[in-house]
Every structure is written in structure tokens, then in C-alpha cells.
């Protein structure tokens, strides 16, 4: 039988009806009885989606039920190991609270509707909004996953420039700094590094399994690891030395390092001469940034800065300042990453063993996939947030999604009336939850695509349930020296769809279906063209290596305009900064009873997406506030006391700088549809305002001062 769009939708609806009649998922007792009869086990290679790292997994399936998830040794991400979140993936699949069918809000409640009705009504509303206000009235935000190119095509075909990732609340400073200076974003040869400095990057809790494994191997071989962090994190505990720096002053520490490296000629002269431009301008700028100057700002003794810098330089080229990941913290975060990039260049570590490295392989670009769709035209309107424009030239492609509420409410620079959110929960992850809630109520159309009923989904007019990563195909992935495929381990348990099909159906109903007349296999084969690999081969093997895995250490091609690492860059001047890294103070200053509010990740949860997971909830059901022992003593606060910072229980510890308090991000959910996570712990999103860091457009999430007091008495701070 030929599968048409209409028959596909009817089949999906029938599947949902059957699931409803049978009580949804087969009961464990029925499954166990059947499994005991046959004991058949299937091993399905796939890709995890419990965080953004996308490690390779092997899914064990017994009689149609996932019984275990293990690491895939053939996959470069993880290399056979998975973290707690990866192990808990089956509890996402079998979560009784997950979304099971399309929903439409009628009054103050959600009612189930068919996929056909959902697509038809959303498509009609999108066409009406486009006719009244123009295509730019649509904003689409996402946590970019493997089907991101589908979102690019949809938005360009619709005519909207307003596609935004979660980058400004995570990695915009890193990407802007390194893409401008190096041409692309490198990673670290973690397993061979000899001296490693982390500026607040917590490798052990913001887990990337292969990177953690690598840094552990390096430590076993004698590498020195420096944790430059106001908090004694789990990585600081692993490190050789914890440097408890004043929050927001890492930049001063790094500038003093550059001063010492150049003054003492500890840099790689040949590398600087052959592969960089702007050295003289950097040297002139950093002459004033002495260790004594940095001591006054950072609180770290000048002698410590001098010792660490000398040790670091002696280890070159296997000496690295980590480019970072979650770098959206302070108003000077881009300058801080730039300074680290200068240090890495001075060490001559690019392409060297134990240094920085670029990705070796890349898929074809969207515009290069000839014949699958008509030529895409660049949207005529400017972005709502100004990204890529005169004021924010370096934020192009990253955007400033944290500022969307302000633009919805003001109607400037033009009306925003429709918002589609995929795999993203901005009400909780972009700060200033109150303003998000206020703004989203003003929209004519809000559509949320998700696996769970998030806080953003609670505000939606339509909620479209995505199949979990264990139930769907996605386009291929490049991981190190291999390509890999996410594929279903089991059939969808409920009336859900993969996001690729959701986007295609939305496109057809919105009048741009001609851009989506291709199959996932055709789309994937076009991506894989450079590697002589096909979608069918990946279905069979799961992971295919593209080379023998042996690293050839050499300086790679540098894809900047000059063909060299640009230590001095006019692009930064055009963005309002100096050509070279310079001292910029953080946006707020602690004191007068005010403490800086810091937040970060934990190894057992991801953003706001895993707190309803039964296994992970059991490991960490809620969060606490960290406050320094001396600060707490002044306030009369002890371990376990309830404190007010819109937080919950306090943890009195020496492991946090006395000028700051810290809380794990993601708790304090207020969606009653997620029963385990509901009202557990405290939310950072009600404390963090919507900032815009001046160069990258990032959300400077740690530029907030708070007062802390013990509930039921105690002094204010």
C-alpha cells in the first residue's frame, strides 16, 4: 500500500486509539510473563539524548520492551561508557507523565485532538499571521538536535529570520570568540594534555563522558589540572589545585598570564610568527596587566599567578586553557574567552598533541543538498533581536532569545505574534520567568513540541508530542572520526511523532510543503555524500568509522579571513569591543550586604528536562543553596536552615567564595503535569534577569546580586 500523508496521519491516530484502549503500555506483569516464554533479546545501536553530548548507546530490547541501555564501544562519544542520565533513558520512555497525544488548549484546560486537526489549525493560523503581519512575525526557538536542519529549512522557506537556539544562555561567548579568532570552535585533546586550566568549566558535572575519561587519563599520566572557580565543584575536587577566584574576574587572571608569558618570552615564537596576526597589539595592551594588578581584582596572590603561569608555559604545547562550554555568565565573558584563546595561541597548541583540535569531518551544508527542495531565499526582514545587524554583528546565527519577551510586549521592531518552541523550555531556562509568562499570553499562536508537559508547554495553544529518542529515527551525527545514527529501539508507545515528520506536516499545512518533499533517507544520504556512506548502511551498523582513528598532529587549516589566528581582530571593533582582549569589569559588584548569585549544573540532571525521571529524581530530588561559612555565621545561618533567596534549604560550606552563593539550576518546576518534579527544590529562573552581554549577545546569567536571610529570623545580607 502506498503511504500518503493522509494515510500516515490516520495510521498514527489509530495507533494512539489502540494505545488508549489497551491502557497505553503493556503492564510489567504481562510483559514479564511473555518475556519468560521466549527470552529473545535484540541489541539496537543508537544515540542517547538525555543531554546534548549524544553518546553512542546499545539498547537492549526484550519482547518489545527496553530493559537496559549500555554504552557503544564503537562510538567516539563515550567509547562504551554512559553517565547516570544515559542509564536512566528508559525511564523517559516509560514515564507515565510523558505527552501521549496532540493537545489543544480550550479555556484553561487541554483537550486531546487528532494530528490532522492540529496540523490543519496550526497551518491556517500561520498563514493568517503571515498575511497580516509578515513572515517575520514568527519566532522559532530550539535546543538544537540532530534534526536542526529541518528547522533551518522551515524558517527560511516561511520567510522568517527568527530562528534561535539556546546558545545565548549557554555557549555564545565561546562560539563568538573562537569563530572570530580561529575560524571555528576547537575542543581539547583531553587525554594527552599536560597542564590544563578550567575557567569555571565543571567537566565532572556538566558531563561529556569522553572528555571526562580523557582528562582522567591525562591526570593518571601526571597532568596538572587547575580549577579556576569561585566554588569547590566536583571538578575542583578532582583537580590538582583549586584557585578560589572572585566571581567574574577570571579575565583579569588570564590577562596577567598573557602579560607574564610575553614579558618572559615564554611563548612559542615560531608558531606566533607563522600562524597568528596581532601579537604586537596584544603585547602593548597587556603591558599594564601585572600579577599585582590582577591580585587586587581576583583575590589571588600575585605569586600564585606567577607560579601557575610559569608551570603552564613550561608544559607547552600540551598546555591548554579550556575554551569552555557554558560561558554565558558575566558581562565580560566574551573577553575572558578571547584572553584564553590568546594564551592557547601563544602556547602554539593548535593541532598539537595535548592541545586544541578542530573537527576533522563535516556534513554537506544545507544549501549544498541539491535537488531535494527549491532554492531557499534569504528572509527579507531583519531579526527581531538585531543579531547579525550593526549593533550585534557577531551574534549572527546565535541570536538573543532571552530578550524575546521584551520584544513581544513592546511590539518592536515589529509585531511578534507566533512562536514555535522545539525541545526547549525558555520559561525556565532563559531567566525572568515572570516576564516570559506575561509575554507568552500576548501571542496569537504558541506551539510547543516536546516529550513532556514543560512550563512553556503549559502556556501553549497547541502541544505536539514528540516520540522519545528510543522511538524514532533522526538525521545522522558526526562524532569524532565516525558517523552514527539514532534509530528506534521500539515502536512509539503512544500517538507521537518524530520531529522531522512534525516539521514536514506543519510545512505542508503552512503552505511551504514543496520544500519538504523528501524522505529522511534521501535527506541523510545527501548529508553523508562526502563520506561514501549511506543511510541504509548506518541503519545496519549504527556507527561507521571514517578513518583508523590515529591522530596526525599538525596545525590545521585556519579558516579566518587572514588564514591565521587573529589575536587582534577588527570584527570585535565593529561589535563595540577593542581589537584585542582588554579588561572589562563584571556588570555588578558584591558588597553592602549583597552577594553574587551563581548557578550551574549537576551530573545527574540536564537543564530542566530530567527532573521528572524516576531514577534521576531518586538520585537528586531537590537542590540547596551554598553559602560560605563566614558569611553564614554573620547571618546566623547553619546547615539545613531554610533561607530566603527564592531558594530552599541552605548548605553552609567553605567550598564557595564568601562573596557568592550557589544553586544547581533546573529545580523548582511548576508544571503539575510532571508529578515528581513539581515544586521540588528552588528555581533559579525567577532570580535571573534577562541580560545581554555586549559583544556576543549572551545572557549574563551570573550578573545578579541577592539578599539572603534565615527564614524565621536572622540578619539580612
Taking only the tens place, the pLDDT of each residue in 32-83 is 555 555 668 999 999 999 999 999 999 999 999 999 999 999 999 989 999 9
The pLDDT of 309-317, averaged and rounded, is 98
Q: Residue 25: pLDDT band by 50, 70, 90 thresholds?
A: very low
* pLDDT above 80: residue 668: yes
The answer on pLDDT for 13 being more than 90 is: no
pLDDT band at 712 (very low <50, low <70, confident <90, very high): low
Residue 450, helix vs strand vs coil:
strand
CB atoms within 10 A of CB 269: 11
What distance in Å separates the CA atoms of residue 318 and residue 577, rounded to the nearest whole number? Answer: 30
Contact, 663 vs 684, CB < 8 A?
Answer: yes
Average pLDDT over all residues of the chain: 91
- Cα(470)–Cα(69) distance, integer angstroms: 10
**Rounded distance between C-alpha atoms, residue 281 and residue 581, angstroms:** 10
CA distance 368 to 358: 22
Residues listed for the chain: 717
Query: Is 272 in a helix, a strand, or coil?
Result: helix
Whether this prediction's pTM lies above 0.85 is answered by yes
Sign of CA dihedral 276, 328, 195, 242: positive
Residues 441-458 have a mean pLDDT of 97
Digit-coded pLDDT (tens) for 538-584: 999 999 999 998 889 999 999 999 999 999 999 999 999 999 999 99
H helices of 134-203, where?
A: 148-158, 172-182
Measured CA to CA in angstroms, residue 363 lies from 375, 503, 637 at distances of 19, 21, 55
Q: How many CA atoms lie within 13 A of 68 on its CB side?
A: 7
* Residue 60 to residue 83: CA distance in whole angstroms: 17
Quick one: which of 168, 76, 689 has its CA closest to 398? 168
ω before 186 within 30° of 0 (cis)? no
Q: Which residues of 21-37 are buried (b: 16+ CB within 10 A; e: fewer)?
A: eeeebeeeeebeeebee
Distances (CA, A) of 108 to 104, 105, 460: 10, 7, 11
Amino acid at each position: 500500500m502506498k503511504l500518503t500523508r493522509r494515510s500516515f496521519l490516520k495510521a498514527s491516530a489509530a495507533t494512539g486509539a489502540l494505545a488508549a484502549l489497551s491502557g497505553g503500555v503493556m503492564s510489567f506483569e504481562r510483559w514479564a510473563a511473555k518475556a519468560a516464554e521466549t527470552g529473545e533479546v535484540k541489541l539496537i545501536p543508537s544515540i542517547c539524548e538525555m543531554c546534548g553530548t549524544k553518546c553512542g548507546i546499545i539498547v537492549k530490547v526484550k519482547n518489545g520492551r527496553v530493559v537496559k541501555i549500555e554504552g557503544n564501544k564503537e562510538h567516539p562519544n563515550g567509547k562504551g561508557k554512559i553517565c547516570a542520565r544515559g542509564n536512566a533513558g528508559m525511564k523517559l520512555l516509560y514515564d507515565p507523565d510523558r505527552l501521549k497525544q496532540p493537545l489543544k488548549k480550550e479555556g484553561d484546560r487541554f483537550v486531546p485532538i487528532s494530528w490532522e486537526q492540529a496540523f490543519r489549525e496550526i497551518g491556517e493560523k500561520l498563514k493568517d499571521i503571515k498575511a497580516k503581519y509578515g513572515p517575520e512575525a514568527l519566532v522559532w526557538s530550539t535546543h538544537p538536535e540532530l534534526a536542526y536542519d529541518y528547522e533551518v529549512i522551515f524558517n527560511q522557506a516561511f520567510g522568517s529570520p527568527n530562528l534561535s537556539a539556546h546558545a545565548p544562555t549557554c555557549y555564545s561567548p565561546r562560539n563568538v570568540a573562537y569563530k572570530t579568532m580561529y575560524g571555528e570552535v576547537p575542543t581539547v585533546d583531553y587525554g594527552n594534555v599536560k597542564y590544563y586550566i578550567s575557567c569555571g568549566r565543571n567537566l565532572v558535572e556538566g558531563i561529556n563522558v569522553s572528555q571526562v575519561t580523557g582528562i582522567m587519563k591525562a591526570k593518571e599520566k601526571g597532568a596538572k589540572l587547575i580549577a579556576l572557580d569561585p566554588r569547590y565543584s566536583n571538578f575542583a575536587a578532582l583537580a590538582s589545585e583549586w584557585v578560589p577566584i572572585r566571581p567574574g574576574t577570571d579575565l583579569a587572571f588570564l590577562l596577567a598570564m598573557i602579560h607574564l608569558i610575553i614579558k618572559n618570552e615564554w611563548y612559542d615564537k615560531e608558531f606566533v610568527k607563522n600562524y597568528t596576526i596581532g601579537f604586537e597589539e596584544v603585547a602593548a595592551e597587556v603591558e599594564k596587566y601585572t600579577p599585582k594588578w590582577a591580585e587586587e581584582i581576583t583575590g589571588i596572590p600575585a605569586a600564585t599567578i606567577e607560579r601557575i603561569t610559569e608551570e603552564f608555559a613550561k608544559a607547552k604545547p600540551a598546555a591548554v586553557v579550556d575554551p569552555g562550554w557554558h560561558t554565558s555568565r558575566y558581562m565580560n565573558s566574551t573577553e575572558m574567552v578571547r584572553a584564553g584563546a590568546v594564551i592557547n595561541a601563544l602556547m602554539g597548541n593548535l593541532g598539537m598533541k595535548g592541545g586544541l583540535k578542530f573537527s576533522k569531518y563535516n556534513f554537506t551544508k544545507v544549501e549544498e543538498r541539491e535537488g531535494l527542495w527549491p532554492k531557499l531565499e534569504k528572509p527579507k526582514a531583519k531579526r527581531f533581536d538585531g543579531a547579525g545587524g550593526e549593533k550585534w554583528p557577531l551574534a549572527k546565527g546565535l541570536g538573543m532569545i532571552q530578550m524575546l519577551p521584551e520584544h513581544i510586549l513592546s511590539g518592536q521592531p515589529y509585531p511578534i505574534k507566533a512562536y514555535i518552541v522545539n525541545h526547549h523550555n525558555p520559561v525556565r531556562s532563559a531567566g525572568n520567568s515572570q516576564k516570559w509568562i506575561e509575554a507568552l499570553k500576548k501571542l496569537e499562536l504558541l506551539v510547543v513540541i516536546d516529550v513532556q508537559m514543560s512550563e512553556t508547554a503549559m502556556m501553549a495553544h497547541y502541544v505536539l508530542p514528540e516520540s522519545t529518542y528510543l522511538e524514532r529515527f533522526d538525521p545522522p551525527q558526526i562524532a569524532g572520526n565516525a558517523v552514527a545514527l539514532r534509530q528506534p529501539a521500539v515502536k512509539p508507545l503512544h500517538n507521537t511523532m518524530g520531529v522531522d515528520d512534525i516539521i514536514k506536516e506543519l510545512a505542508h499545512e503552512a503552505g511551504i510543503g514543496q520544500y519538504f518533499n523528501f524522505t529522511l533517507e534521501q535527506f541523510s544520504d545527501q548529508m553523508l555524500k562526502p563520506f561514501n556512506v549511506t543511510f541504509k548502511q548506518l541503519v545496519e551498523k549504527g556507527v561507521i568509522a571514517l578513518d583508523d582513528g590515529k591522530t596526525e598532529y599538525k596545525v590545521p587549516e585556519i579558516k579566518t579571513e587572514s588564514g591565521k589566528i587573529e589575536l587582534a581582530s577588527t570584527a570585535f571593533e565593529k561589535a563595540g569591543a577593542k581589537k584585542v582582549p582588554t579588561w572589562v569589569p563584571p556588570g555588578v559588584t558584591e558588597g553592602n550586604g549583597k552577594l553574587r548569585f551563581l548557578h550551574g549544573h549537576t551530573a545527574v540532571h540536564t537543564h530542566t528536562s530530567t527532573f521528572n525521571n524516576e531514577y534521576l529524581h531518586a538520585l537528586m530530588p531537590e537542590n540547596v543553596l551554598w553559602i560560605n561559612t563566614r558569611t553564614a555565621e554573620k547571618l546566623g545561618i547553619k546547615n539545613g536552615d531554610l533561607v530566603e533567596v527564592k531558594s530552599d534549604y541552605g548548605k553552609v560550606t567553605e567550598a564557595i567564595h564568601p562573596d557568592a552563593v550557589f544553586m544547581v539550576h533546573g529545580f523548582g518546576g511548576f508544571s503539575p503535569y510532571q508529578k515528581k518534579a513539581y515544586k521540588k527544590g528552588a528555581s533559579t529562573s525567577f532570580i535571573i534577569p534577562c541580560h545581554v552581554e555586549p559583544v556576543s549577545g549572551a545572557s549574563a546569567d551570573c550578573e545578579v546580586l541577592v539578599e539572603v536571610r534565615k527564614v524565621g529570623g536572622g540578619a539580612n545580607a
